Amino acid sequence: MVRFLIAAVIFLVSSSDITRAQGPSSEPQDSPPIIDDAVEQRTKLDFLSGKRPTREDVAKELVKEEDQIKEAERRGIAPTGTQVDKAVGEMCARMKITPEQLTKGLEARGIHFGTLRRRIEADLALGTILRLRNWKGSSPDVGTIRRN
């Protein structure tokens, strides 16, 4: 996940002037509806890394990520805003850009910064769930959550 984000942002920074501004899907029960804007935003973010997913694939991925976040919240291990900010800051430090430059670069491509933050939040949630599962042993309700 981090490699995907770094590759996407490196592409973003290297290929543009970063100061330039610019209905529900089918989902498992109890999952929030994935709206067209979320699918569009994630598709744009995925395109930065060279991925070309279908709308259906993107919607499924978004549902899966929401389920991961909900599972982490249910277990009391959801990432905090501070943890997400730290992950964004670390990513930016590796790329030698500021979070503001990252935000402007994403906005220049019509991508909301919140789209990236939510993706990072889901990745952090999944990582914590998997570490907990490995620490405690296999758990039936966590066993259905898999990394791509």
**Residues 69, 126: Cα–Cα separation, whole Å:** 7
User: Residue 98's domain spans which residues?
Assistant: 2-11+34-136
Mean pLDDT score, 62-89 = 96
Mean pLDDT score, 55-80 = 96
pLDDT at 142: 46
Residue 132 in domain: yes
Residues 6+ apart with CB under 8 A from 52: 46
CA atoms within 13 A on the CB side of 143: 6
What is the pLDDT of the chain when averaged over all its residues? 80
CATH code at position 119 = 1.10.4030.10
**Domain total for the chain?**
1
Structure tokens of 24?
Answer: 């529900």
| pLDDT class of 138 with cuts at 50, 70, 90 | low
Residue 93 in domain: yes
Through-space distance between the first and last CA atoms of the chain, rounded to whole angstroms: 9
Structure tokens of 122?
Answer: 């889901």
- Radius of gyration over every alpha carbon of the chain, rounded to an integer in angstroms: 16
pLDDT at 145: 53
**Residues 5, 100: Cα–Cα separation, whole Å:** 16
Mean pLDDT score, 107-112 = 96
